[in-house]
Chain A
Amino acid sequence: DQQVKQNSPSLSVQEGRISILNCDYTNSMFDYFLWYKKYPAEGPTFLISISSIKDKNEDGRFTVFLNKSAKHLSLHIVPSQPGDSAVYFCAATRYTGTASKLTFGTGTRLQVTL
């Protein structure tokens, strides 16, 4: 049972345009969401996160939007740059005060073309 889903395995965007990566989740207990970026031959690195008390979080060119009623989050990258080409994973967790297990999506490969 895939509790976190990224339905687009790949996405191609021109440099300078907006990249929108989507993620859906099914577990209503999740209350904290993260995006990770992964380059080949490297481990995933944390990019941006959002808690369920917010609907938007912005960090430079990266913005994450959360729609709790739809159980959907999205990552916007504006403007997209060639260095953004990577695999992006969304992840979700339920904060219990002690636990920090993450449930990951299947990933979306973003290619930013010149």
Chain B
Amino acid sequence: DADVTQTPRNRITKTGKRIMLECSQTKGHDRMYWYRQDPGLGLRLIYYSFDVKDINKGEISDGYSVSRQAQAKFSLSLESAIPNQTALYFCATSDPRGGYSRNEQFFGPGTRLTVL
């Protein structure tokens, strides 16, 4: 079944460490996104990519970087993790074909990251 997968599902790390979260999808979608969810703040967009050669900053990109290795893979890196990056991270995909009615995004199961 076509899906969006994220690894790892849970990660505990220490302040200052570099960490990478990975996302893979089998939906064949060109567009991929990284969000973080914090209590009381909903989901906020970190980075997004509309194709392999396209990377764009979202509303909260500071402290993060991304890599779009292939159509199916989109990785999020924290170069030097800090405690306020403790959050639930979601990857999502969408399909631009189909026009107006195809704005829905498909989410992975999330990665719970704790920075001590």
Using a CB–CB cutoff of 8 Å, the interface residues on chain A facing chain B are: 4, 6, 9, 32, 34, 36, 41-46, 49, 51, 89, 93, 95, 98, 100-107
* A102 CB contacts on chain B under 8 angstroms: 45, 103, 105
Is there an interface contact between B103 and A43, defined as CB atoms closer than 8 Å?
no
Distance of A44 Cα from B110 Cα, bound (Å):
9
* A98 CB contacts on chain B under 8 angstroms: 50, 96
Is there an interface contact between A45 and B42, defined as CB atoms closer than 8 Å?
no
Chain A's closest residue to B58 (CB) is: A101
Is there an interface contact between A101 and B40, defined as CB atoms closer than 8 Å?
no
Using a CB–CB cutoff of 8 Å, the interface residues on chain B facing chain A are: 4, 31, 35, 40-45, 48, 50, 58, 90, 92, 94, 96, 100-110
Given contacts A98-B50, A100-B94, A101-B48, whether A44 and B43 have CB atoms under 8 Å apart is yes
Cβ-defined partner of B42 (8 Å) among A89, A93, A95, A100:
A89
Chain B's closest residue to A99 (CB) is: B50
Chain B's closest residue to A90 (CB) is: B42
CB distance from B53 to the nearest CB of A (A): 15
Further pairs besides A98-B96, A100-B96, A101-B48: 11, Cβ < 8 Å: A32-B103, A43-B110, A44-B90, A46-B104, A46-B105, A49-B101, A51-B101, A98-B50, A100-B105, A102-B105, A106-B42
Distance of A93 Cα from B92 Cα, bound (Å):
15
Is there an interface contact between A51 and B43, defined as CB atoms closer than 8 Å?
no
Distance of A34 Cα from B100 Cα, bound (Å):
12
CB distance from B108 to the nearest CB of A (A): 5
Is there an interface contact between A95 and B108, defined as CB atoms closer than 8 Å?
no
